[in-house]
């Protein structure tokens, strides 16, 4: 039996200034492979990603000295059904995308 693997974008925001939450649906497993973030704030800022809004798994700080800067997460974070991926920009705006694999739980 072969398993289907699908690359998807779980969330994409332009001008994110607060938090966004992605909840893994029943019967699914999400694997976050990539987070791409671009800052053009004119001042310092931070972007972070957490599991269930408690366990930090990625964070970067923008120092505000360059006109724009991009940051990436390349890895593997596995989220079971019911878990959440919380992306927070403080302050914003940040352009952000969260991508990976959407699998069927067995």
37-69 pLDDT, tens per residue?
998 667 778 999 999 989 999 999 888 777 778
Specify whether the CB–CB gap between 47 and 89 falls below 8 A: yes
**In this predicted structure, what is the pLDDT of residue 2?**
56
Would you tell me how many other CB atoms lie within 10 Å of the CB of residue 67? 7
Beta-sheet pairing, 55-62 with 69-79? unpaired
Q: What share of the chain has pLDDT > 70, as a percent?
A: 92
Is the pLDDT at 92 greater than 80? The verdict is no
């Amino acid at each position: 039996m072969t398993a289907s693997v699908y690359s998807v974008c779980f969330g994409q925001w332009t001008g994110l200034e607060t938090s966004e939450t992605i909840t893994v649906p029943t019967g699914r497993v999400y694997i976050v492979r990539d987070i791409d973030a671009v800052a053009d704030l004119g001042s310092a800022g931070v972007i972070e990603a957490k599991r269930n809004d408690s366990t930090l798994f990625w964070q970067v700080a923008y120092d505000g000295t360059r006109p724009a800067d991009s940051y990436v997460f390349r890895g593997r974070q596995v989220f079971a059904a019911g878990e959440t991926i919380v992306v927070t920009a403080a302050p914003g705006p940040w352009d952000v995308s969260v991508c990976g694999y959407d699998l069927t739980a067995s």
